[in-house]
Amino acid sequence: MEASEAAPAVATAAVMEAEDVSGGKGSWYVLGERALMVPYMREHVPRYHDWMQDPALLEATASEPLSLSQEFEVHRSWTLDPLKHTFILLDKELIEGEFVPGNPHTEAMVGDVNIYMNDSDDMQIAEIEIMIAEHKSRGKGIGQEAILLMMAFAVEKYGIHTFRAKISESNTASLKLFRKLGFKDASYSAVFKEVTLEAPTDSLPLRFPLTIGDW
């Protein structure tokens, strides 16, 4: 290839990489006591895809099985969607060496947490979803910490005033977790066998300031 042709290709790749990391929404990590929330990067997709082969996780998260290339496409659409913000959760105990911003640290990824501003009547309501996929990292308080960190982040960066969670009626662990944090049952869908819970921001035990760093 001619040198003159190579330059735009490199520039395009750089732009795509930037899009993939932040989608124009800013790119941060958030530090907790047990968990670190980092941007969902392309490097995370193969392991994420492995997790989503588990029928129990598919059911708990109301997801459909995808091929790896579909998972890469979903990753791209999530990162570019201005109404969605996703973090991969790192278990701090599993990080090899020092945490380095910009490094995907796939060795420590254990789940994800995301918000979705999908209520067209009020864009400052966010639906929140959490998944701790790695069983070895469940029951350590990471899920609870990640929800609280994500909600504080959403208040700070998106001005969210109410959070919503849609949880299968059979998912007792997740129902218990959200109710423990102060979410109240708002409605029930007999068709989807799903409970919708809600919490106004000022009723939640959120802690500020957050420890946020540039990615």
Ligand X SMILES: CC(C)(COP(=O)(O)OP(=O)(O)OC[C@H]1O[C@@H](n2cnc3c(N)ncnc32)[C@H](O)[C@@H]1OP(=O)(O)O)[C@@H](O)C(=O)NCCC(=O)NCCS
Which residues on adjacent β-strands are paired with residue 31?
36, 211
The structure tokens listed for 169 are 């009626």
Query: Whole-angstrom Cα distance, residue 49 to residue 73?
Result: 12
DSSP 93: G
> Which amino acid appears at position 9 of this protein?
A
Q: Does 34 bind ligand X (CB under 6 A)?
A: no
Which residue in 125, 132, 197, 199 binds ligand X (CB under 6 A)? 132
Which residue in 21, 88, 126, 130 binds ligand X (CB under 6 A)? 130
Q: Is residue 205 classed exposed, middle or buried when 0-12, 13-18 and 19+ CB atoms within 10 A define those classes? A: exposed
Q: Which residues are CB-neighbours of 100 under 8 A, at least 6 positions away?
A: none
Tell me the closest approach of the beta carbon of residue 11 to ligand X, in angstroms: 40
Which residue in 76, 92, 138, 157 binds ligand X (CB under 6 A)? 138
The structure tokens listed for 74 are 């979903």
Minimum CB distance to ligand X smaller for 21 or for 128: 128
106 to 125: interface string for ligand X, x by CB under 6 A:
-----x--------------
Phi, psi of 43 (to 5 degrees): -65, -25
| Count of residues near ligand X by CB under 6 A | 24
Minimum CB distance to ligand X smaller for 60 or for 80: 60
Piece of 1-9, 93-101, 128-136, 185-193 that binds ligand X (CB under 6 A): 128-136
Minimum CB distance to ligand X smaller for 22 or for 144: 144
Cα angle 105, 111, 115 (rounded to 5 degrees) comes to 110
Which residue in 46, 141, 182, 200 binds ligand X (CB under 6 A)? 141
Residues that bind ligand X (CB under 6 A): 57, 60-61, 111, 129-132, 138-144, 165, 167, 171-174, 176-177, 180
